[in-house]
Amino acid sequence: MANPMHLGLQDAMSPLMEELLYFHDHTLMIIFLISMFVLYTISVLLLTSLYHTNATDVQEMEMIWTILPALILITIALPSLRTLYLMDETTNPCLTIKVIGHQWYWTYEYTDFSQLEFDSYMLPTQDLPQGHFRLLEVDHRMIVPTSSNTRTLITAEDVLHSWAVPSLGIKMDAVPGRLNQTSLTSPNPGVFYGQCSEICGANHSFMPIVVEAVPMQHFQSWLKTNS
């Protein structure tokens, strides 16, 4: 959950988000080293009037500044491709949930169970329970079991939406007439907040997303209550 003074990414609450944070830190360190090297080189050129007459025409130097950037790009591309494939991987899901975006609310369909479907609206400020977050709490949360691979099918009924939960590392467009797929896994119980991340009309800012991960026995009890 982000706070007003939060400058970095949210804490990872899924294996996928951990991979994204690792890739972010890995790439940021490379960018930092390159920036420091370029700054040092510019400073030396500006403050030093002495240089070797052959330094501007050396075959070895040209090979270095050609090969070194290629190696840097490879060190960035390999973990990037690995993370990209992990984001698209959906193997043996134990649960499938269809998410449908509307103006301006979400519908969740648990396709593995008959007639388990509900709409999720933002709670108005006057109905907000004590201690809950304004503009982020909903009347019906999406409930998923912990330590289980959940497949999420995302689409929209009217205009473009985007189903995004930052702490789980998920951001998937909801496109009318198209079914996008992603997966989520949370090893620990918790409540994770997100919002629609695609401008979808006047009330775009008022269609939050709340995913609650609960232990399997609690999830089964919830199923019995709502089925």
192-201 pLDDT, tens digit each? 999 999 898 8
- Provide the pLDDT for residue 174: 93
Contact 210, 137 (CB under 8 A): yes
Which of 3-7, 111-115, 209-213 is predicted with the least confidence, judged by mean pLDDT? Answer: 3-7
DSSP 132: P
User: Is residue 161 a part of any domain in this protein?
Assistant: yes
What does the alpha-carbon distance between residue 200 and residue 160 come to, in Å, rounded to a whole number? 6
Q: Are residues 105 and 217 in the same domain?
A: yes
Which of residues 71, 88, 105 is at a domain's end? Answer: 88
pTM over 0.75: yes
On the question of pLDDT at 88 being above 90, the answer is no
On the question of pLDDT at 49 being above 80, the answer is no
- Provide the pLDDT for residue 171: 92
CATH of the domain at 204: 2.60.40.420
Q: Are residues 149 and 209 in the same domain?
A: yes
Percent of the chain with pLDDT strictly greater than 70:
96
- Provide the pLDDT for residue 57: 65
Q: Which residue has the tokens 């050609």?
A: 66
What does the alpha-carbon distance between residue 37 and residue 101 come to, in Å, rounded to a whole number? 47
How many domains, the chain? Answer: 2
Contact 218, 144 (CB under 8 A): no
Question: Distance between the two ends of the chain, CA-based, in angstroms?
Answer: 30
Residue 37 has φ and ψ, to the nearest 5°, of -65, -45
Q: Are residues 42 and 146 in the same domain?
A: no
DSSP 99: E
Spell out where 112-217 has E strands: 117-120, 142-145, 150-156, 161-165, 170-174, 180-184, 190-196, 208-214
Q: Are residues 132 and 200 in the same domain?
A: yes
User: Which pLDDT tens digit goes with each residue over 139-172?
Assistant: 999 999 998 899 999 999 989 999 999 999 999 9
User: Is residue 10 a part of any domain in this protein?
Assistant: no
User: Is residue 7 a part of any domain in this protein?
Assistant: no
- Residues of the domain holding 129: 95-226
Sign of the torsion angle spanned by Cα atoms 136, 142, 146, 150: negative
At 91, list the tokens.
């193997």
